Structure formats: C-alpha cells, structure tokens
Amino acid sequence: MSTKPHHFSTPVLTGRSIRFHVLAARDISLMLPYFGTELLRKEPAMLPRLFLNLICLSALLTTLGMKSALAEESHRSSYYKNGEIHVNVLGQPEGKPITTGHWDFKPSWSQTGDHLVFFRRLKDDPEVTKWITAMCIINADGTGFHQLSDGTFTDFNPTWTRDGKNTPVWNRKNGEKGGFHILAGRIGGKPGEEIALTSPEQHAWVHSAVRDGRLFVSGAPGKLGYGYFLMTPNPGGEAKFERIDCDLAKTGLLDRISVSPDETKICFDYHPGFKNEVPGRTLYVADFDVKTRTISNAQPFANAEGKKVWFDYPRWTKGGTAIVYHAGGKLFLYTLADGSAKQVSTDDKADYRYPHGEATPN
C-alpha cells in the first residue's frame, strides 16, 4: 500500500479548506475501525497525519462554534436613549449617539444596513397625536442627515419596504379629522417630495412590509371595515387591501407589528379589549403565512400577566433569532431558541426605548 496521503496533506485552517477537513474526518472515521492495529503495523507513518487532521478539525469546529456563538450574542441595534439615537451592540456600554440636541424617536434600520429613518419631535404636547414632527434619514454612522418632511405635520413610526427599492414609508395624521394615512419618500429626498400611498379620507397605518412589495397595515379602508391587511401600493391610484386572518385580533388590538426577516413569524404588542391603553400590553410572537395571510399559534413572551408597565416595540434582530423590546425604560432581548429573556441596556438611570435590529426593517 502506498504511503502517499490521499486527504491527509498538512491542513490550512481557512474558510476555503473547511470542505477538505470534513472529508478528511470522514475518511479517518471510516478507516480507523477497519484497519485497527493493522494500520499501526503496516503504515505507522500514517498515524501522525491522522492525528494531525483530527486535531486540526477539532480546532476548526471549536473556532467556528465560538464564532457562531459570538455572532448570536453580538446583536447590533439602534435605539432611543434619553431622546438621542444610538447604534450599538446590545449589552455593551454606549459610545457617542448619532443624533444629539433634539428629541429623536423610533429609528428603523434599512435592509441594506446603511440608513436609519426616524422622526424628530419639533413641538411637544401632552397629547401625542398633537406633536409636530419631521421625518428624517441618517446614515448608520451618523453622517448624511436630511429631512424628508418639512416639520409642519404629525409624521410617525417609519419603516422601509423590503422589495429591494429601500423606500422609507411612514404615517401622517389626517389633520383635524383624525386618523392617519401612509406616505412614501426616498433616500436623498426633500420635504414636499413625499407621496401619499393611501387617502387622507380613510385611516391606514403601516407597521411592516414583505419582500413582494406589500405593506403590513392596519386600518379601515373603504367598506372593508377595521382590520389588518397586506396592502399593495399604487401611487396615484387605489391601493389593494387583502385582509389578514388572526383569531387574537377578534378579542383585542395588535400593534407595533413586525414581520420576521424570513417572513415566517411575526411579533407584536397586544391589549385585550379595544381601548388603546399603553401600560399593561403583552408582547407576542406568532407564526405568519404570507401566502394565506394568516397569523396563528400566538404565544406571549413578555408581560403575560399584564403588569401596568410599558412593554412595547418588539423588533427582530438580524437573522431573526431574537426579539429586542423595551420595558420600563430598559431594553431586553428575548431569544427564541431557549425562550430566555435578559436585560441588554446598561445604564439603569437612562430612559431606553424603541430598539431596532440591524438591517432588519420592522
């Protein structure tokens, strides 16, 4: 038998050599039981190479496992802290905020990972729906700030489309009439260039989006009555609304809704009954079927007991393995795999709100 190695050349631990080491380990596992002591007797020179491959493979898998674990732990997020927007790894102390000197709310991270859209409060009021705000975009590194609206409206809760066009969308109050309608802008846009996606004559509110271009909205479009819908925008024309079925919606309000990156799950806050009370909401995760437009298997994961504390704004992390949310002025991370929750804000004297996972539009 030749002593020339087959898969047992000296390994180099690079990403390109992973396949080599897996094949080598396979061959080793097949050879050892068959040859046993015969291998030691006839080919003793092979033994060091066998052990070398096993050691290197073990080191490789250990390294990959550590990197995977670190990646899972290192969830990057944007969030509000005392009126300023931060971009940070959850659980780590903050550096400098990317906005300062204003009251900036509810950042949403673009799918491309390079932009945040948020609103800036310009005029305060005890009644939130009377705030005057401006919709804004900034690069994730804090550069490139610009306004999308002129600061004379009540513009709230932006997100992004997921259809590859990277379009910021948000909700604007319908004047004194009440209710909201949905607008769209563009990166680099200027105030006055925003376009209406729904009529100000009827209430509609955008929460999230799916890859085929539809928006996840709540509202009362036309004769359809109040509910939850996947809406196909038609700028300049009439949008198409397709109702979403959810048993839980028959007994209370779903709000702050976010579709998972793979579009198989959904998270939201829920309040039994139909009064819009903020403290005491329960956070849920559920299965979501885009094709059949159904929400099912809803399970509470935070504040199931309904404590009168503000639990809200559940948002997916990049990859969809966890959900970040705020509760009582702190940030928490819920991990789906083991059902665990832990605090990830680091300054207990600060007011944390509105977390949002990296490159994961709500």
The verdict on 194 and 295 lying in the same domain is yes
Q: What's the pLDDT tens digit per position in 157-188? A: 999 999 999 999 999 999 877 899 999 999 99
Q: Which of 51, 70, 89 is the last residue of a domain?
A: 70
Please give the pLDDT value at position 176.
76
The verdict on 182 and 117 lying in the same domain is yes
The verdict on 352 and 230 lying in the same domain is yes
Query: Which of 11-20, 132-141, 144-153, 190-199 is predicted least confidently?
Result: 11-20
Query: Which of 21-25, 79-83, 98-102, 196-200 is predicted least confidently?
Result: 21-25
- C-alpha distances (whole Å) from 54 to each of 2, 7, 24, 49 are 21, 12, 8, 9
The verdict on 119 and 52 lying in the same domain is no
**Residue 7 in domain:** no
Q: What's the pLDDT tens digit per position in 86-124? A: 999 999 999 999 999 999 999 999 999 999 999 999 999
Q: What's the pLDDT tens digit per position in 234-255? A: 998 999 999 999 999 999 999 9
**Residue 315 in domain:** yes
The verdict on 55 and 78 lying in the same domain is no
Helix axes 18-35, 46-73, angle to 10 degrees: 130
Query: Which of 9-18, 129-138, 326-335, 343-352 is predicted least confidently?
Result: 9-18
**Residue 55 in domain:** yes
Residue 344: pLDDT above 50? yes
**Residue 161 in domain:** yes
CATH number of the domain where residue 331 is located: 2.120.10.30
Please give the pLDDT value at position 262.
97
The verdict on 286 and 304 lying in the same domain is yes
**Residue 10 in domain:** no
Structurally, the chain folds into a number of domains equal to: 2
The verdict on 50 and 91 lying in the same domain is no
The verdict on 91 and 214 lying in the same domain is yes
The verdict on 221 and 107 lying in the same domain is yes
Q: Which of 24, 47, 70 is the last residue of a domain?
A: 70
Please give the pLDDT value at position 74.
86
**Residue 3 in domain:** no
The verdict on 42 and 136 lying in the same domain is no
Mean pLDDT of 124-152: 97
Q: How far apart are CA 279 and CA 327, in angstroms?
A: 10
Mean pLDDT of 327-353: 97
The DSSP letter of residue 153 is B
Domain that holds residue 103: 74-357
- C-alpha distances (whole Å) from 254 to each of 91, 120, 232 are 28, 25, 21
**Residue 8 in domain:** no
The verdict on 27 and 150 lying in the same domain is no
Residue 206: pLDDT above 50? yes
The verdict on 179 and 319 lying in the same domain is yes
Please give the pLDDT value at position 25.
46
Q: Which of 24, 41, 70 is the last residue of a domain?
A: 70
Residue 61: pLDDT above 90? no
Q: How high is the mean pLDDT of the chain?
A: 86
186 by Cβ neighbours in 10 Å (0-12 / 13-18 / 19+) ranks as middle
On whether the CB atoms of residues 182 and 205 are closer than 8 A, the answer is: yes
Q: How far apart are CA 90 and CA 289, in angstroms?
A: 30
Calculate the dihedral angle through the C-alpha atoms of 244, 250, 252, 257, rounding to the nearest 10 degrees. Answer: -10
Instruction: Provide the pLDDT confidence category of residue 4 given band limits of 50, 70 and 90.
Output: very low
Please give the pLDDT value at position 139.
98
**Residue 1 in domain:** no
